[in-house]
Amino acid sequence: SFSSVLERRLAASFGAGEVEVINLGVGGALSDEIVHYARQSYVLDPDLLILYFGNNDLADIYRLAGFRAYSAGGVALRFVLARLRVARLLSSLLPDWALGRVDAEGGWLDSEGLSFEESSFLRRVAELNLRSNMERLVRDARRQGVDSLLVLQAQNDDMCGPTNEQDDSFHSGCFQQALRRVAYQVAARTGVPVVDMPQALRSHRGMSPDQGQWEGEIFQPRREGAGHELFYDTCHPTRLGHQLIGEFIAPTAVRVLRLRQ
């Protein structure tokens, strides 16, 4: 895995036996859950928290809204209220019937799907939630004396393709522009370093960093090079993919750790 590759690279810089990389990643976890996992990790007295985040947060809210029992606005409202302490307290006190909860047997997929406007609205809600959680993670860690490093989830260019946010295929599960936007917004607000793994893999495969186009204030690199040789599907790495991801995280991790010495 890329965590074991990273451990070997850090050991080469700091000495054998001086470094331990502990993989606390949980498959399919959302950032709301990762906040709690990160807090549990502090008992290990870490020096560096590496946050490898990606598609799940941005895709999950679409899955909820895809059931006819929910509307885009209803999902967004529940999403926001769940983050208010007063709303959570009231929810815990009220009976189920008062909350308008849907019987699990009454939900089914809506064949009509979401409109582009609904999808765009939910994407903005999901981005806001992801950014809020990432900032909370970084600031919580800092209060514990722990440094953080954000790593953008690598993705399969052969499957994700050259999409943009005005293209319906953007909502098929590949969210590179949105993830990059969230990462650099968090970096600007907290000073946390970011490893742009999709671009690192493309550069390794021969794509120049300046190949791409500007979309507003965000430069979107041309998506090509990091394909099925590095990924089994849209985002899960092959053995070679794990090797390269570990290699590309290492230099920034070394730099952050050296600043602590």
* pLDDT tens by residue, 112-170: 666 777 777 777 888 888 998 999 999 999 999 999 999 998 888 888 765 555 544 44
Per-residue pLDDT tens over the stretch 163-204: 555 544 444 567 777 888 899 999 999 999 999 998 888 888
Phi and psi at residue 42, to the nearest 5°: -65, -20
Q: Where are the alpha helices (DSSP H) in 66-169?
A: 72-81, 85-93, 116-143, 157-160
Q: Which residue has the tokens 């990924």?
A: 231
151 touches 50 (CB < 8 A): yes
CA distance 220 to 168: 17
- The answer to whether 210 and 150 are in contact (CB under 8 A) is no
CB-based contact 247:209 (threshold 8 Å): no
* pTM: predicted TM-score of the whole model, two decimal places: 0.78
Pull the structure tokens for residue 186. 């968090």
Partner residues linked to 151 by β-bridges: 52, 195
